[in-house]
Amino acid sequence: MDMQRWKNSPEIKNAMIYLYGASGHGKVIADIVTAQGDTIGGFIDADTSKKVWQYNTYATLPSQFSNDDAIIISIGSNSIRKRLAAELAAYRFAKAIHPNAVVSSHSSVGVGTVIMAHVSVNADATVGTHCILNTNCSIDHDCVLENFVHISPNATLCGNVYVGEGIHVGAGAVIIQGKRIGKNVTIGAGAVVIRDVPDNAVVVGNPAKQIR
């Protein structure tokens, strides 16, 4: 995966970032984009009545969108981000990393991913594309997060955890070291995961138990 932040690519130095989804989640990403020194071109949303501060909201990518501009999908649903990423695959995707996040130089972060304030991503962690690492979550050494994952605020992944595509880890949940979590899993808020979890499961509680 590309280790460089989007804004450091010299060929797109003066480009803009458009946020796909005018929502509360989009507001947070807009703050991060401006904090990392990039420029927002506007929001894309089917409901153009949605307004985020001073930015315009467009139903589709506007005519001024250039080949050097980029998109971040600012929608919390993993499945919707996956669908839109496929529909928009012809365009460039950016990433947004809050300046107050601590991201190891020995980790990798895929395009389209957003990392909120006070997140920790430690050495040799691998974060896929179009992921959300929400406020104060912790991704420890050697963890692997596949694409379209959402780690909620204050969740903790201990070392060597593998997280499959499309997983949602609830707020304050803990996954102990070395566990493997299958794709499309939902882990409830506050859960403590001490065993591997199969694909498509829902687990809750301390210790976490599968309920579906």
* CA 83 to mean position of chain CA atoms: 15
CA angle 156, 195, 164 (to 5 degrees): 65
Q: Where are the domains of the chain?
A: 6-87
Whether the Cβ atoms of residue 157 and residue 140 lie closer than 8 Å to each other: yes
Q: What pTM does this model have? A: 0.91
- What are the residue numbers of the active site? 141
Looking at 3.80.30.20, 3.40.50.300, 3.40.50.20, 1.10.3720.10, the CATH number of the domain 6-87 comes to: 3.40.50.20
Structure-block tokens of residue 172: 């304050």
pLDDT by 10s per residue, the chain, length 212: 333 333 434 344 558 999 999 999 999 999 999 999 999 999 999 999 998 999 999 999 999 999 899 999 999 999 999 999 999 999 999 999 999 999 999 999 999 999 999 999 999 999 999 999 999 999 999 999 999 999 999 999 999 999 999 999 999 999 999 999 999 999 999 999 999 999 999 999 999 999 97
The rounded distance, in Å, linking the Cα atoms of 172 and 112 is: 24
Radius of gyration in angstroms for the set of CA atoms belonging to the chain, rounded to a whole number: 17
Centre a 10 Å sphere on the Cβ of residue 33 and count the other Cβ atoms it contains.
26
